[in-house]
Structure 1
Amino acid sequence: MAYKITVYTAPGCPYCTKAKNYFRQLGLNFTEIDVSKDYRKAQELVRKTGQMGVPVIEIGNQIIIGFDKDRIDRILGVR
């Protein structure tokens, strides 16, 4: 099953880098939104999640706060 994956990031965020590298390792395409450069998307993220920190990962209609590899794997059916 193909999932739409969006990763909300900011420069210098080590967990953002880990998340992006993990999706690349799995061979999955994702959309990266740098909230430091897109104020409108940053506001949308806060409205949607109540979070001001990154990474926030959206897989389909599931929202993951931080790089929670176990939860990502469960949603994607990895392993």
Structure 2
Amino acid sequence: MKKNVTVYSKDGCYYCVMAKNYLDKHGIDYEVVNVSKAPEAMQEMVTATGQKGVPQLKIGDKWVVGFNARQIWKSLEE
């Protein structure tokens, strides 16, 4: 089952680049939301997870906070 994937990131975020590179490597399509330029997206992310740090990935209806390859893959498979 294909899931919608959104990467919430900021410019200059090394771990955000790692998360996007991981998704690219595995051929996973995703949307990028730069929370520095979209305060409403930042608020959505904080409301959902209680965390301000990036990257955060929304995979289907699940959230992965930080770059965690194992958790990303698990969320994609669920």
Please, what TM-score do these two structures have when normalized by structure 1? Answer: 0.91
1:36 is matched with: 36
Q: Report the alpha carbon displacement of residue 34 of structure 1 after superposing the two structures with TM.
A: 0.3
1:2 is matched with: 2
Aligned residues with identical type, % of pairs: 40
Q: Report the alpha carbon displacement of residue 16 of structure 1 after superposing the two structures with TM.
A: 0.3
In the TM superposition, structure 1's runs of 4+ consecutive aligned residues that sit over 6 Å from their partners are none
Q: Which runs of 5+ in 1 are unaligned?
A: none
Q: Which runs of 5+ in 2 are unaligned?
A: none
Q: 2 CA distance for matches of 1:73 and 1:39? A: 28
CA RMSD of superposed structures (Å): 0.9
Q: 2 CA distance for matches of 1:26 and 1:59? A: 15
Q: Report the alpha carbon displacement of residue 76 of structure 1 after superposing the two structures with TM.
A: 2.4
Please, what TM-score do these two structures have when normalized by structure 2? Answer: 0.92
